[in-house]
Amino acid sequence: MANEAVVMKNVSKQFKVLNRHEGLKGSIQDLFSRDYKIVNAVSDVSLTVEKGEIIGYLGPNGAGKSTTIKMMTGVLEPSSGEILVDGRVPYKDRTANSEHIGVVFGQRSQLWWNLPLIESFNLLRDIYLVPEKDYQDMLSLYRSLVDIEPILHKPVRQMSLGQRTLSDILAAFLHNPGIVFLDEPTIGLDVSMKARIRELIKGLNEVKQTTVILTTHDMGDVDALCRRIIIIDEGRKIYDNDIEHLKNYFGSYRTLRMRLGDDSWVEQVIDEKKTDVMHAIKEMQKEHKVKDIQLQEISTEEVIRKIYEGSESA
Amino acid sequence: MEVQMKKKRGLRFYLSIYKKILIQDLKSKMSYRADFVISTFGMVLTNISGFITFMILFHNFPSVNGWDYHHMLFLYGFSLIALTPVQCFFDNNWNLRFMVRSGDFIKYCFRPINVFFYFISEVFDVKGLGQFAFGLGTFIYAWNKIGIPVTVVNIAEAVLFLLTASLFMIALMNLAAATCFWIINSGYVMVIMFRFKDFAKYPASIFSGVFRFIFTFLIPIAFVAYYPSLVFVTPDHVPLLSWLSPFIGIAFFYVSYKFWMLGVRRYDFTGS
């Protein structure tokens, strides 16, 4: 068995978009127009995801994240390049591919709106041909990870957004897929629900060794779940490494704040490649009394923001 | 392993999934009793008013192009029954364009089952049942009045040709709905196509040559009641088109299904 859950080689996706004209005359023109422009949604992206990994797939809005996910799930065909998901070409064999993946699009429930959750689960069991024993085992695993009893007999339509997201995630793991795609699973949720969802994803990944590909704008998700992240912008991959490395992306900076004798705070950005924190404190103490210090790590959020902003100006 | 899995998802698999979805859906609809009662009542009223219009019209013109009152009634009942499946089982086609526009349609592409089946199975419209009861009553009444012999062959033919007729209407609505994958204002196409069904309850022989051609070969609404019912109404000279209608119906449905699926493939799922 190969150890890669997903392999993408030089994948690009172009869309043909009609150049629309304004006004009534323009609309009539559009009817017959062959005036297309080509938009590169994804350009020459190569990546590998190992089995059992939780990977953060990040990028600003419109960067090409969703397009990539749609190609991996077999909904879109790449314009060029190769994709293998669990050894299959997703677009060519969408049905076989979908047996082995789970998908959650935050805010878009895939469950039967009018049915109680347990009935949706039963239907999914039948659709994915899950053996009864595996199904019951999975339900008991769910019970051990989250309190599902209050929502199990509730129709999806009556659920809160948090309960719905929780249900959708559980539904995506139900047939024990090798890979689960989570697109902004915590969007719009309150802090405690976010934490529950993160714990659930982490738990399922640990027990079932499910590969998780997570797209999100919430760095809390990334910090809680991912060891490795991939960032794309304008369709190109611009970062693919551990989060640890990410913090060194601009050099290993930390901010040292010191409270002096007159209770005023001074800030100093420390580049650890050039100097170290203790040295900076000693230097300060030569001239001032230092009553207190704070040391701030640069947050993932700040680094990502710098990367997004950096690539915009480039 | 893979081959085995595929084999399991045959006709029986789909029927059992459909049955389960249907039962669950009906259960949840029953829990909204007021909604259920009002919508059924509304459908009955719609049918009664349609029927009264029809009565007034044909009491004044006792014979249209050689079709007397009871023959017209037969055609009317026939068309109502034939229009039931499209109403009951394929009603989700009306939601297709909204789902495609909003991007919600993508959810149907993630399951290891046929996308068309998955989409269509999601909605069962109970209102169609009122129409069915009404149509069946009219049909049986007219059948008796015309004096069509109640034989096994006749009943089997009736079932076959009713199914055929409904295939045409389903196919027409599939085609109309699937246009939303290409054009933005596809709602008009659906509404126009749905209006055409009103022509189904008149004998196509009353239309002039051009329209008869259109309703036979371009928008085959004449197959929804006229051609199949000729088998019973004028058993002595049944046109070839009537006998061929089951085959044409299956072929037409298949084409509409392929067109629908082509739309799914072609659609680029823009937007996140």
pLDDT by residue for chain A (314 residues), tens digit each?
568 999 999 999 988 877 777 777 776 777 676 777 888 899 999 999 999 999 999 988 888 898 999 999 998 999 999 999 999 999 998 889 999 999 998 778 889 988 899 999 999 999 999 999 999 999 999 999 999 999 999 999 899 999 999 999 999 999 999 999 999 999 889 999 999 999 999 999 999 999 999 999 888 899 899 989 999 988 999 889 888 787 776 666 778 889 988 888 988 878 777 788 888 888 888 888 888 988 887 777 777 887 777 765 44
Which of A99-108, B115-124, B210-219 is predicted least confidently? B210-219
Q: How far is A152 from chain B (nearest CA, A)?
A: 15
Please tell me which of the candidates A101, A119, A183 has its beta carbon nearest to residue B24.
Answer: A119
Q: What residue ranges do the domains of chain B occupy? A: 32-266
3-state DSSP helix/strand/coil % of chain A, to nearest 5:
40, 30, 30
Q: Under an 8 Å CB criterion, which residues of B touch A?
A: 2, 5-6, 8-9, 16-17, 20-21, 24-25, 28-29, 103-104, 106-107, 109-113, 122, 268-272
Residue B85: C-alpha distances to residues B89, B108, B158, B190 (Å): 5, 22, 15, 17
At residue A53's C-alpha, the angle toward residues A50 and A54, to 5°, is 135
Element (H, E) at A314: none
pLDDT higher at A83 or B1: A83
Whole-number pLDDT of residue B238: 83
Shortest CA distance from B270: residue in chain A: A67
Which of A29-33, A176-180, B52-56, B208-212 is predicted least confidently? A29-33
Q: Is A80 on the interface with B (CB under 8 A)?
A: no
Asked whether the predicted pLDDT for residue B3 surpasses 50, the reply is no
CA A194 to CA A172: how far, in whole Å? 17
Whole-number pLDDT of residue B2: 45
CB within 8 Å of chain B, chain A residues 152-191? 155, 183
Question: Considering chain B, what is the average pLDDT of its residues?
Answer: 85
Q: How far is A239 from chain B (nearest CA, A)?
A: 22
Instruction: Classify residue A73 by its DSSP letter.
Output: T
Residue by residue, what is the 3-state secondary structure of chain B? CHHHHHHHCCHHHHHHHHHHHHHHHHHHHHCCHHHHHHHHHHHHHHHHHHHHHHHHHHHHCCEECCEEHHHHHHHHHHHHHHCHHHHHHCCCHHHHHHHHHHCHHHHHHCCCCCHHHHHHHCCCCCHHHHHHHHHHHHHHHHHHHHCCCCCHHHHHHHHHHHHHHHHHHHHHHHHHHHHHHCCCCHHHHHHHHHHHHHHHHCCHHHCCHHHHHHHHHHCCHHHHCHHHHHHHHCCCCCCHHHHHHHHHHHHHHHHHHHHHHHHHHHCCCCCC
Whole-number pLDDT of residue A117: 94
CA A117 to CA A111: how far, in whole Å? 8
φ, ψ dihedrals at B80, nearest 5°:
-65, -45
Asked whether the predicted pLDDT for residue B177 surpasses 60, the reply is yes
3-class secondary structure, A301: helix
CA A238 to CA A308: how far, in whole Å? 10
